[in-house]
Amino acid sequence: MKAAVFERYGPPEVIQIADVPRPEPKDDELLIRVLATTVNRTDCGFRGGNPLILRFFARLLLGSGVVGGVLRPARKILGDEMSGVVEAVGPAVKQFTPGDEVFGSTDGRFGTQAEFVCMRESDPVAHKPARMTFAEAAAVCDGAILTLNALRPAHIRAGQEVLVYGASGSMGTAGVQLAKALSAHVTAVCGTKNLELVRSLGADAVIDYLTDDFPKNGRTYDVIYDSVGKLSFRRCSGSLRPRGAYLPTDGLANVALAPITARRSGRKVLFSLPPRYTKADVLYLRDLIEAGKYRAVIDRTYPLEQVVEATKYVETGQKVGNVVLTVAGG
């Protein structure tokens, strides 16, 4: 089968399309013919966008089996979300049969930037929502599940004021929709060209960061979700209400601040590590999709053979929503 393979850490050009052996499903596994996958921040970080010490730190948090190896990757095919069709199942599989349309995440084990991938029946995989295309379904799980991980410690309640910073990215568009699903009042922060997009996702108010620096406008919120890792607790703590929560998605300083602020009765940094991908989350997202309360936002679509170009675009930091790779004729 064809796959996007990287043998060493480095720039996008280290990724090559190569022929590799097709995986064989174990007793409790599905063999999935991948029709669509994505390139996201997680892929770029593990491939080599971060310094060595940060790659090592991420592996320490997520487990040595995620990609493996400090000097060279042990798992050489990236991609951690997909949609496709079940090709074959192991004898112990009960919930899926060949021909089923599915979507999901590999739970940090990567491998979806390929024509086939094996996943356990217990993994974060479910039947694809009928109302979604394969490309749309492939773009659901990573940003949305990471956002669910980030939002949960805040215990968001109906009517609370939630600000989503970086609201037009993969995790930002998820943040707007998931906070609205919890009946929060959502303020979305993004650039001028994406204001109408985030409004269409349900944002109650929008702030153009190019003309309004929200920490200086005097408004306060119960929760600030930094979906792009570009804020800091120090910068935005004045925009939090007395018992408010800052939810970061990146930064060693935030990891250190979380246990320190947890001892206080006032404003807190809440950082959920390691992120957990569960089947329950995929099923929850499918329910939201089928109820018309969640949709994937796709910026660009590339064939698998153009994975380098897709990766370079993701690393510009300018993508809106998700960048999809179509695979095996998908």
**Quick one: which of 179, 171, 154, 149 has its CA closest to 272?**
149
Domain locations in the chain? 2-140+296-326, 143-269
Q: Is the dihedral of CA 282, 174, 225, 105 positive or negative?
A: positive
Q: Answer for the pair 117, 111: CB distance below 8 angstroms, yes or no.
A: yes
Q: Apex CA 284: angle with CA 281 and CA 290, to 5°?
A: 140
* AA letter at 303: P
The answer to whether 84 and 37 have CB atoms below 8 angstroms apart is no
CATH 3.30.9.10, applies to 2-140+296-326: no
Structure tokens at 315: 């690393």
How confident is the prediction along the chain (330 residues), in pLDDT tens digits per residue?
999 999 988 999 999 999 999 999 999 999 999 999 999 988 988 887 454 444 444 544 444 444 455 667 778 999 999 999 999 999 999 999 999 999 999 988 899 999 999 999 999 999 999 989 999 999 999 999 999 999 999 999 999 999 999 999 999 999 999 999 999 999 999 999 999 999 999 999 999 999 999 999 999 999 999 999 889 888 999 999 999 999 998 766 777 777 777 667 688 988 877 788 999 999 999 999 999 999 999 999 999 999 999 999 999 999 999 999 999 755
Q: Return the ∠ at Cα 326 (arms to 324 and 328), rounded to 5°.
A: 160
Closest CA to 307 of 35, 21, 6: 6
Count CB neighbours of 156 within 10 A: 22
- Which residue type is seen at 39? V
**Alpha-helical segments (H) within 185-264:** 195-200, 233-236, 252-262
* Encoded tokens for 73: 């990757």
Q: CATH classification of 143-269 is 3.40.50.720, yes or no? A: yes
